[in-house]
Amino acid sequence: EIVLTQSPGTLSLSPGETATLSCRASQSVSNNYLAWYQQKPGQAPRLLIYGASSRATGIPDRFSGSGSGTDFSLTISRLEPEDFAVYYCQQYDSSPLYSFGQGTKLEIK
């Protein structure tokens, strides 16, 4: 089973700044099947990035994903007030098919 570790646990930034979130896998992620989600209180997660670097439909280009193997990152440029939320990474592998990191909370400084 691949374990995903996200860092930092909480990130405090101001609107307009750039956020960099990290997701490290305990072993190499197959075919870079790594996704990122944004979740706001009381809402379902929203898919941002799939395949490590492809933006889902309708996601602003301020959101970008990068990385391969075991180290991945999500970068959010020019933070907007609506970007402050919890972010999860997720990988697709053999068993369990989907597993998630523990999340990074992006809060307003």
Which of these ranges, 10-18, 19-27, 76-84, 92-100, lies near another protein under the rule CB under 8 A?
92-100
Select from 2, 22, 24, 46 the one that contacts another protein (CB under 8 A): 46
Decide: is 51 part of the binding site for another protein (CB under 8 A).
yes
Q: According to the binding rule CB under 8 A, does residue 81 interact with another protein?
A: no
Locate tokens 């700044």: which residue? Answer: 17
Are β-strands 10-13 and 104-108 bridged in parallel, bridged antiparallel, or unpaired?
Answer: parallel
Task: Tell me the C-alpha to C-alpha distance, in Å, between residue 91 and each of 10, 52, 75.
Answer: 21, 9, 18
E strand or H helix that includes residue 48: strand 46-50
User: Rule CB under 8 A: which residues touch another protein?
Assistant: 31, 33, 35, 37, 43-47, 50-51, 54, 56, 88, 90, 92, 95-103
